[in-house]
Amino acid sequence: MKHYLFIIGFFLSSAVFSQDISLYQQFNGHYDYTAFGNTLNIEENGQGGQCFILTSSSADFQLQPNQEVIAAYLYWAGSGPGDFDVTFNQVPITAERTFNVTYNSGGQDYIYFAAFADVTQQIQTTGNGNYTLADLDLTLIIPAYCSPPGSGTNFGGWAVTVVYEDATLPNNQVNIFDGLESVSQSNQTLNITLDNLMVLDTQGAKIGFLAWEGDRG
């Protein structure tokens, strides 16, 4: 049995107080995973450009006819204490679980958030197509985060992790880990302990990360 991992993380550039990554859900069977999502930023942050952020964005989702959605988890995140009520293809969504991070840069504390909702039924019903996350409104929050005068860590975004069944696949173990951990210029390594794994064959194994606020290069 191979194992597939998907890890939700958070990447910043200074000292961070964060939440450990841990196992959220495990699936055993003829399973694999994919993900889709988008940013709300209109350009790379920290470059001194326009301090503006979208309140919605869209992405396409596509499975093959022989593949069936087993689970779908929506994550969204951004600068500030949090917007935990959004819409997903015009369906109101309220966060079922939340995460937060506080970090200090130049003596100033900055808060960031992430949120989770199980959207399995919606994805199963709607199927392939274009999905829009909307009403994630951080427009009043981000001016304090833009550079200057802030740390250049203004951001917002969303992603959906989808676990699907495909009878042509071998038996696999898919593990979803989530939480908020960080790397930074001063702390460039991160140790994540992955437990509850049953590994008989590592050939073809893979790992995926959802990283918020990463910078080019």
pLDDT of residue 11: 43
The two tokens of residue 28 are: 């055993």
pLDDT of residue 115: 94
pLDDT of residue 200: 65
CA atoms 203, 204, 210, 213: torsion sign: positive
DSSP string, 118-145: E-HHHHHHH-SEEEEEE----TTTGGGT
Phi, psi dihedrals of residue 121, rounded to the nearest 5°: -60, -40
With bands split at pLDDT 50, 70 and 90, how would you rate the model's confidence at 42? Answer: confident
Cβ-proximal residues to 135 (8 Å cutoff; 6+ apart), any chain: 55, 56, 83, 85, 86, 87
Say yes or no to pLDDT of 17 above 50. Answer: no
User: Which whole number is the average pLDDT over 27-53?
Assistant: 85
pLDDT of residue 203: 72
47/51: higher pLDDT? 51
pLDDT of residue 199: 65
CA–CA distances in Å: residue 49 to residues 19, 30, 33, 111, 152: 31, 47, 36, 21, 10
Bridge partners (DSSP) of residue 32 are: 164
With bands split at pLDDT 50, 70 and 90, how would you rate the model's confidence at 120? Answer: very high
User: Which whole number is the average pLDDT over 192-213?
Assistant: 73
- The residue with tokens 């992430």 is 114
User: Which whole number is the average pLDDT over 14-41?
Assistant: 82
pLDDT of residue 23: 86
With bands split at pLDDT 50, 70 and 90, how would you rate the model's confidence at 13? Answer: very low
- Determine contact, residues 158/37, Cβ cutoff 8 Å: yes
Domain locations in the chain as residue ranges: 2-212
pLDDT of residue 15: 40
Average pLDDT taken over every residue of the chain? 83
Say yes or no to pLDDT of 38 above 70. Answer: yes
Which of 113-127, 140-154, 160-174 is predicted least confidently? 140-154
- The model carries a pTM of 0.88
